[in-house]
Amino acid sequence: MEPRTRAAKTRTRDAEAGTGARAETDVAHVAAAIGDPSRAKVLLALAGGGALPASALAAEAGVSNSTISGHLARLLDARLLTVELDGRHRYYRLATTDVARALEQLALIARPLPVRSLNADTRARALLRARLCYDHLAGRLGVALMDALQERAVLTAERPASGGDDTAPGAVRYVLTPHGRRELTAFGVDTDRLPRRRPSVRYCVDWGEQRHHLAGALGAALTTRMFALDWLRHGTYRRVVRLTDAGREGLTATFGVPADRLS
């Protein structure tokens, strides 16, 4: 059999079995993988976009090194994680930015975890204040920046004439303006060289603020630039970021973020 003919028959068989053009997706399989508390902690530990070894993820999940291997295998099978090899070491990260977006959306409908210690309370407050949602800024600081970008006409929001719920997926379309391109170029973000593999301008509905923060390639580029300028630093806890004094001054002077929203 010719290779092309064999491939065509395989595609036909897969389509008939439901594995070709997908009419429905196996949500239950992914939900079950996320649903275990230990595996959820693994995913959230990686939601800041970094890669971690199994031993660090075991500590985050509160399980033994022998137990974490089964959890990681389940998450890999569900295509929620990928693994990278570095010599004899294996590092795990979220498979795509969409996994991080899905976690953020799930957090919108999830009940808060009980806070039973001072450390947990400090961590929770820090996450609400400023954190990474994979590779872009989230929390109160991310929402404040998103508001300022609209106030400065860097972004414009296009909403349906009928109005509606801004927390619904795709309810708003944000557009980068020509003025915004100039502003961001002056800031050091070349909008013409953003990666083409993902949308330039997207948003997440922030689970803490119930409002939008900037995602997509532009959100990632802005966050990377703020780290490069030492406006942002990684915090004590995973995913948490800390705004520096230079960042407070810079966000107000450059984008007009009100000082009272930077605390």
Helical ranges in the chain per DSSP H: 3-17, 27-35, 37-45, 54-61, 65-77, 97-109, 118-129, 139-151, 178-187, 216-228, 245-255
CB within 8 Å of 141: residues ≥ 6 apart: 129, 130, 241, 243, 261, 262
Would you state the pLDDT for residue 197?
A: 85
- Residue bearing the bigger pLDDT, 24 or 141: 141
What span, in angstroms and rounded, lies between the C-alpha atoms of 62 and 128? 23
- Contact yes or no for 222/137 (Cβ under 8 A): yes
Task: Say if residue 162's pLDDT is above 90.
Answer: no
pTM score of the predicted model: 0.80
Task: Say if residue 108's pLDDT is above 60.
Answer: yes
Q: Per residue in 178-225, pLDDT tens? A: 999 999 999 999 999 998 888 899 999 999 999 999 999 999 999 999
